[in-house]
Amino acid sequence: MAANDSIGILNSAYLAVEYIDSFLPENPLQQPFKNAWNCMLDNYTKFQIATWGSLLLHELSYFLICAPGFVFQFIPYMQKYKIQQDKPETWERQWKCLKTLLFNHFFIQFPLIFGTYYFTEFFNIPYDWESMPRWYVLLSQCFGCAVIEDAWHYFLHRLLHHKRLYKYIHKVHHEFVAPFGMQAEYAHPLETLILGAGFFIGIITFCNHVILLWAWLICRLLETIDVHSGYDIPLNPLHLVPFYAGSRFHDFHHMNFIGNYASTFTWWDKIFGTDSQFNSYTEKAKKQQEKKAE
């Protein structure tokens, strides 16, 4: 099939979705969001939006998403959902985590965020409301970013577990055998750069508006904090995502150190059989529960 034919098919599909969307009721949140977005554009420069806006969004999103898991440790009822119940959080560990986290945020991640404006200028990425993609396009782009990041994370994460590399870089992240939400970005600075690079590949591939940078940032933080939360909460909406790994899957990686290398989905571990120990563990736990119930 010629490239022009492929482009024509994609354009036709997009127009068809646009046509269907025109019959759907207008989102009541659209106008307030449009007003807020245009107000931001009128009062701040592109540099301020891309740099300080992205930093503020990252910090607020990170600690707000961490907040429920932090509160759970003080609620006795929630302890039945804690995965490793014999390893409660301690103030000492959480304070140590916070100090390293803030260092990484402001001395490793912020310089990367500082380049956001220049990235959008180089690729001529728009900021205006009229160019903003519809919610379903944005959602599909975020899913595409997650698929790309997950592949990058699986292979580089697995490499960081190699015996010749592990003790120099990735061992820092594994100081916490029982993870908690705030620990999601607790890592050696080199690991922050190596694994964090996967975040930007999807942006380079799909980005057609600055809103994708922010939408994908929030999606990625939701996912990584959830899988590090240490709690398996019922009715978690993220479990509706096909092949989503979840907190039990990644918690086992911290407890076992081997296997379950992917960040978001389960398919790479299934393909390469690196989830075999996790499957044996869950099967054994299931049988033990069945015996107790008899």
Is residue 290 included in any domain, yes or no? no
Three-state DSSP state, 265: strand
Q: Please, what are the averages of pLDDT over each run of 10 residues along the chain (294 residues)?
A: 46 50 62 95 97 97 96 94 92 94 92 93 95 93 97 98 96 94 95 95 93 97 97 94 96 96 97 97 87 70
Is residue 212 included in any domain, yes or no? yes
Return the pLDDT at 10: 41
Q: Side chain identity at 140, as an amino acid letter?
A: S
CA distance 281 to 275: 10
CA distance 230 to 162: 25
Number of domains in the chain: 1
Q: C-alpha 166: how far from its chain's center?
A: 23
Return the pLDDT at 127: 97
Cβ–Cβ under 8 Å, residues 133 and 127: no
- Exposure string for 45-75, b = 16+ CB within 10 A, e = fewer: ebeebbbebbbebbeebbbebbebbeebbee
Would you give the DSSP letter of residue 109? I
CA distance 193 to 109: 8
Is residue 67 included in any domain, yes or no? no
Q: Side chain identity at 86, as an amino acid letter?
A: D
Is residue 24 included in any domain, yes or no? no
Give Cβ neighbours of residue 203 (< 8 Å, ≥ 6 apart): 119, 145, 212, 213, 216
Would you give the DSSP letter of residue 90? -
Would you give the DSSP letter of residue 256? H
> Sign (positive/negative) of CA torsion 212, 215, 219, 224?
positive
Is residue 64 included in any domain, yes or no? no
Among candidate residues 242, 238, 258, the one with its CA nearest the CA of residue 157 = 258
Is residue 52 included in any domain, yes or no? no
Half-sphere exposure of 132 (CA within 13 A, CB side): 17
Cβ–Cβ under 8 Å, residues 161 and 170: yes
Return the pLDDT at 50: 96
Q: Which domain holds residue 136?
A: 90-281
Is residue 18 included in any domain, yes or no? no
Among candidate residues 248, 24, 212, the one with its CA nearest the CA of residue 127 = 212
Among candidate residues 180, 174, 149, 163, the one with its CA nearest the CA of residue 247 = 180
pLDDT in tens, 54-106: 999 999 999 999 999 999 999 999 999 999 999 988 999 999 999 999 999 99
